[in-house]
Amino acid sequence: MDHHLNYTGKSDYEIEWTPFSLTHVEFPKGDFFGKVLAISSLMPMALICGFITLILFRRDLHTITFFIGLLINEGFNMILKYTIREARPLQREINYTEFGMPSSHSQLMWYFAAYSVYFALFRLHRYPGKGISSHLHKVGIILAVVATALFVTYSRIYLMYHTWAQVSWGAFVGCVFATFWFVMTETVFTPKFQEISSWTVCEYLLIKDTTLIPNVMWFEYANARQETKNRTRKFIKSQ
């Protein structure tokens, strides 16, 4: 019986399939906690999708810079992996196709968590709001991002995809790079945002700098509300 030959010249039954490790994750059958941890391992993909969505709809230079840092952090992780070339733990029969040192999940999550903590500590003070509610807001952000990073990091140990050393070094590198990138953003990039936003390409793509606006959400809400009122009056008068 003849089998269909694909572009490799092999039949469909001779092809060796390789999982896409960024999304492929397994957990012990019947282990509910393991299933929850496996789902949490998809958080890096959720963050990337969230960034892309936020950039498309908000088009803010600081968000774009934050995301660029995340991409550079991932590229740095790949360089480290293929330089160190340390295998993943062989605690179960899996044919790993990637190296494990440092953990990319851990490095990405701790980059995001550390940068968010710096943002909450050093940027949110520019926003209006005083008293205990303002402090609770900051504490809530910090606890949420740190807890999420810890949960995803532990999932890589529990599901036997990495060793403690691999996730620990991933967390360390992610935090160090987040520190470097936040300092660069605050001291080098942010002062140039106003100039960059005036570039022709940025004006065409509606990319803007909202650094000096105290509360962007309130600003957009108030302006949209006022514009709606103005247009409603014009519409009524034209009738």
Note the pLDDT tens digit of each residue in 204-220.
988 888 887 767 777 77
What is the Cα–Cα distance from 170 to 152, expressed in whole angstroms? 12
Tokens, residue 76: 């740095």
Kindly tell me if the per-residue pLDDT of 21 is higher than 70. no
For all residues of the chain together, what is the average pLDDT? 82
Kindly tell me if the per-residue pLDDT of 9 is higher than 60. no
Mean pLDDT on 134-147: 84
pTM of the model: 0.80
| DSSP string covering 67-108 | HHHHHHHHHHHHHHHHHH-PPPP-SSS----S--SS-HHHHH
72-88 in b/e form (b: 16+ CB < 10 A) is ebbebbeebbeeeeeeb
**pLDDT value for 97:** 61
Contact 55, 67 (CB under 8 A): yes
Express as a percent the part of the chain with pLDDT over 90. Answer: 32
What is the Cα–Cα distance from 144 to 103, expressed in whole angstroms? 21
What is the Cα–Cα distance from 92 to 230, expressed in whole angstroms? 66
Mean pLDDT on 82-98: 73
What is the Cα–Cα distance from 137 to 125, expressed in whole angstroms? 11
Rounded to the nearest 10 degrees, the angle between the axes of helix 43-58 and helix 132-158 is 140
At 103-113, the pLDDT tens digits run 888 999 999 99
**pLDDT value for 15:** 64
**pLDDT value for 96:** 61
Tokens, residue 106: 């851990």
Tokens, residue 237: 């008068």
Kindly tell me if the per-residue pLDDT of 173 is higher than 90. yes
